[in-house]
Amino acid sequence: MTEPDTKRVTDEEALLLHSSGRPGKLEISPTKPLTTQRDLSLAYSPGVAVPCLRIAEDPSTAYDYTAKGNIVAVISNGTAVLGLGDLGALASKPVMEGKAVLFKRFADVDGIDLEVDTKNVDEFVNCVRFLGPSFGGINLEDIKAPDCFIIEERLRELLDIPVFHDDQHGTAIIAAAGLINACDITGRNIRDVKMVVNGAGAAGIACAELFTTMGVPRENITLCDTKGVVYRGRTDGMNQWKSSFAVETDKRTLQEAVAGSDVFVGLSAKGAMTPEMVKSMAAKPIIFALANPDPEITPEEVKAVRSDAIVATGRSDYPNQVNNVLGFPYLFRGALDVRATTINEAMKVAAAKALAALAREDVPDEVDAAYSGRRLRYGPEYIIPVPFDPRLIVTVPAAVAQAAMETGVARKPIVDLAGYKNSLRTRLDPTADSLQLILEKVKANPRRVVFAEGEEERTIRAALAYRAAGFGTPVLIGREEVIKEQLAAMGQSGVSLEIHNARISDANRRYSDYLYRRMQRKGALLRDCQRMVNQDRNVFAALMVAQGDAHAMVTGITRTFGVAFEEIRRVIDAKANEPVFGLHVFLTRNRTVLIADTTVHVRPNGQTLADIAIGAAAKARQMGHEPRVALLSFSNFGQHPHPNTDPLREAIEILDKRRVDFEYDGEMSADVALDYQLMKRVYPFCRLSGPANVLIMPGLHSANITAKLLNKMAGGQMIGPLLIGLDKPAQIVTMGASVNDLVTAAALAAHDSLPW
Ligand SMILES: NC(=O)C1=CN([C@@H]2O[C@H](COP(=O)(O)OP(=O)(O)OC[C@H]3O[C@@H](n4cnc5c(N)ncnc54)[C@H](OP(=O)(O)O)[C@@H]3O)[C@@H](O)[C@H]2O)C=CC1
Ligand SMILES: CC(=O)C(=O)O
Ligand SMILES: [Mg+2]
- Ligand 1 and 324: CB distance under 6 A: yes
Mean pLDDT for 600-605 is 95
Homologous superfamily of 11-26+41-166: Malic enzyme, N-terminal domain (3.40.50.10380)
Residue 238's Cβ-count burial label (10 Å; 0-12, 13-18, 19+) is: middle
Distance from CA of residue 549 to its chain's centroid? 32
With bands split at pLDDT 50, 70 and 90, how would you rate the model's confidence at 520? very high
Give residue 68's pLDDT band: very low, low, confident or very high (50, 70, 90): very high
For residue 608, the SS3 value is helix
pLDDT digits (tens, 9 = 90+) for 120-134: 999 999 999 999 999
Give the closest ligand to the alpha carbon of residue 224: 1
List the residue whose alpha carbon is closest to atom 30 of ligand 1: 226
> CA–CA separation, 98 vs 92, rounded Å?
10
Instruction: Check residue 711 and give its pLDDT.
Output: 84
Domain at 169-426, CATH class: alpha beta
% of the chain surpassing 70 pLDDT? 96
438-569: CATH architecture:
3-Layer(aba) Sandwich (3.40)
Distance CA 172, CA 585 (A): 39
645 lines ligand 2 (CB under 6 A): no
Q: What's the whole-model pTM score?
A: 0.73
Task: Tell me if 324 CB under 6 Å of ligand 2.
Answer: yes
Amino acid present at 585:
V
β-sheet bridge partners, residue 730: 553
- Ligand 2 atom with the smallest distance to the CA of 170 is 3
Ligand nearest to the Cα of 87, by number: 1
CA-to-CA dists, residue 289 to 310, 367, 498, angstroms? 11, 25, 37
Query: Residue 321 gets which letter from DSSP?
Result: B
Please tell me the least confidently modeled range out of 316-320, 705-709, 730-734: 316-320
Structural contact between residues 409 and 341, judged by C-beta atoms closer than 8 angstroms = yes
Residue 430: is its pLDDT beyond 60? no
End-to-end Cα spacing for the chain: 25
DSSP H helices, 639-725, are 646-658, 670-674, 676-682, 700-713
Average pLDDT over residues 170-188: 97
Quote the pLDDT of residue 375: 67
Q: What class does CATH assign to 581-725?
A: alpha beta
Quote the radius of gyration of the chain (alpha carbons, Å).
29
> In which band, very low, low, confident or very high, does the pLDDT at 656 lie, cut at 50, 70 and 90?
very high
Which residues contact residue 747 at a Cβ distance below 8 angstroms, ignoring those fewer than 6 apart? 438, 439, 442, 466, 469, 471
Q: Measure the CA angle with vertex 712, ends 708 and 716; round to 5°.
A: 100
Separation of 83 CA from ligand 2 center, angstroms? Answer: 7
Q: Which of 233-237, 323-327, 619-623 has the lowest mean pLDDT?
A: 619-623
Residue nearest to atom 38 of ligand 1 (CA): 226
User: Among 585, 537, 587, 586, which Cα is nearest to 563's?
Assistant: 537
The answer to whether residues 76 and 89 touch, using CB atoms and an 8 Å cutoff, is yes
Angle at 289 between CA 304 and CA 114, to 5 degrees: 150
pLDDT band at 373 (very low <50, low <70, confident <90, very high): low
- Predicted confidence band at 6 (pLDDT cuts at 50, 70, 90)? very low
Which whole number is the average pLDDT over 316-323? 90
Is the Cβ–Cβ distance between 688 and 677 less than 8 Å? no
For 106-160, write each residue's pLDDT tens digit: 999 999 999 999 999 999 999 999 999 999 999 999 999 999 999 999 999 999 9
Closest-CA residue, ligand 1 atom 32, reads 225
Domain 438-569 shares a fold with domain 581-725 = yes
Task: Please determine, for residue 664, whether its predicted confidence score (pLDDT) is greater than 60.
Answer: yes
The CA 292 to ligand 2 mean position distance, Å, reads 6
pLDDT grade for 2, boundaries at 50, 70 and 90: very low
- pLDDT value, residue 591: 79
Average the pLDDT over 521-531 and give the result. 95
Q: If you take atom 5 of ligand 2, which residue's CA is the nearest one?
A: 82
Alpha helices in 5-139 (DSSP H): 11-19, 37-43, 49-57, 62-65, 93-107, 121-131
Task: Give the least confident one: 27-36, 460-469, 669-678.
Answer: 27-36
Residue 616: pLDDT over 50:
yes
Mean pLDDT calculated for residue range 297-326: 95
Closest-CA residue to 332 (of 92, 71, 77): 71
Provide the pLDDT confidence category of residue 432 given band limits of 50, 70 and 90.
low
Mean pLDDT of 432-460: 88
What is residue 170's DSSP assignment? I
Whether 292 is in the pocket of ligand 2, judged by its Cβ within 6 Å, is: yes
C-alpha separations of 178 from 182, 311, 321, 527 in Å: 6, 10, 9, 65
| Predicted pLDDT at 720 | 85
- How many CA atoms are closer than 13 Å to the CA of 384, on its beta-carbon side? 32
Q: Helix, strand, coil: what percent of the chain each, to 5? A: 45, 15, 40
Nearest C-alpha neighbor of 142 from the set 88, 206, 223, 218? 88
Q: Tell me the mean pLDDT in the region 598-623.
A: 94
Task: Indicate the length of the chain as a whole number.
Answer: 756
**Which are the catalytic amino acids?**
44, 99
Q: 502, 508 in Cβ contact below 8 A?
A: yes
Our measurement of the distance from residue 553's CA atom to the centroid of its chain's CA atoms, rounded to an integer in Å, reads 25
Which residue has a Cα nearest atom 6 of ligand 2?
Answer: 82
Q: How far is the CA of 148 from the centre of ligand 2 (A)?
A: 14
- From ligand 3's centre to the CA of 78, what distance in Å? 10
pLDDT band of residue 3 (cuts 50, 70, 90) is very low
* Per-residue model confidence as pLDDT tens digits over 554-564: 999 999 999 99
Does the Cβ of 321 fall within 6 Å of ligand 2? Answer: no
Distance, CA of 109 to CA of 335 (rounded, Å): 11
Higher-pLDDT residue of 4, 582: 582
Query: How many other CB atoms are there within 10 angstroms of residue 223's CB atom?
Result: 26
With a 6 Å cutoff on the Cβ, whether 167 touches ligand 2 is yes
663 lines ligand 2 (CB under 6 A): no
pLDDT at 269 over 70: yes
**171 in contact with ligand 1, CB cutoff 6 A:** yes
- Indicate whether residue 227 lines ligand 1 (CB < 6 A): yes
Banded pLDDT at 434 (limits 50, 70, 90): low
Domain boundaries, the chain: 11-26+41-166, 169-426, 438-569, 581-725
CA distances from 230 to 169, 212, 224, 261, 412 (A): 21, 17, 5, 16, 43
For 720-747, how does the pLDDT look when each residue is reduced to its tens digit (9 = 90+)? Answer: 899 999 999 999 999 988 888 899 999 9
The CA angle 195-199-200, to the nearest 5 degrees, is 95
Residue 415 pLDDT level (bands cut at 50, 70, 90): very high
Is the ipTM beyond the 0.85 threshold? yes
Residue 8 is predicted with a pLDDT of 64
pLDDT reported for residue 490: 83
Q: What is the pLDDT of residue 581?
A: 96
Tell how far the Cα of 142 is from the centroid of ligand 3, in angstroms: 5
Residue bearing the bigger pLDDT, 165 or 372: 165
pLDDT of residue 636: 96
* 314 Cα nearest atom in ligand 1: 1
Question: How much distance in Å is there from the Cα of 413 to the middle of ligand 2?
Answer: 31
Indicate the pLDDT class of residue 439, thresholds 50, 70 and 90: confident
pLDDT at 37 over 80: yes
